[in-house]
Amino acid sequence: MEFIQQNLLLVAVAVVSGTLLLVLTVYRPGGSRSVTTTQATMLINRENAQLLDIREANEYVTGHPVDARNIPVGSLDERIEELAQFKDTPVILICQSGARSSAACAKLAKLGFSRLHSLEGGVAAWAEAGLPLKKGSRK
């Protein structure tokens, strides 16, 4: 007890950091729908998951996963009919860092898509994992 009283600041920092670690373990920033690059490649290979790059066209042409379809997040409502065939198949949404794709997952879930995933870390994580990126073309 004397140690705690003499090192109150140190104990407080340890408790706060432990609590934050626990919270971040339970609540991942991408939510329950986020997948790592390894999980994404398994979904692509085993279940023919569709890749949907929701970045703007100028971001998409700088480098995107091979076979990724580009529909910017702002155009999802107008171009939803292009995705209707994928309502019951796995769809992996990709943005630059994973933030926009999480929001787009929630939007598409409200439109009836049942197997949505957000790529944790986005294209940056894809490139860091050494997975192939195609540059220049638009799909």
**Element containing residue 116 per DSSP (H, E):** strand 116-119
pTM: 0.75
The whole-number pLDDT of residue 26 equals 59
The whole-number pLDDT of residue 37 equals 94
Return d(Cα 103, Cα 33) in angstroms, integer.
Answer: 11
Kindly report the CATH class assigned to 31-134. Answer: alpha beta
Would you call 40 helix, strand, or coil by DSSP? helix
Cβ partners under 8 Å of residue 115, min gap 6: 88, 89, 90, 91
Per residue of the chain (139 residues), give pLDDT as tens. 788 788 888 888 988 988 887 776 655 544 458 899 999 999 999 999 999 999 999 999 999 999 999 999 999 889 999 999 998 899 999 999 888 888 888 889 888 888 999 999 999 999 999 999 998 765 4
What residue spans of 2-89 are helical by DSSP H?
2-6, 8-26, 37-47, 57-60
The whole-number pLDDT of residue 111 equals 87
The whole-number pLDDT of residue 31 equals 47
C-alpha of 37 from chain center: 9
The whole-number pLDDT of residue 123 equals 94
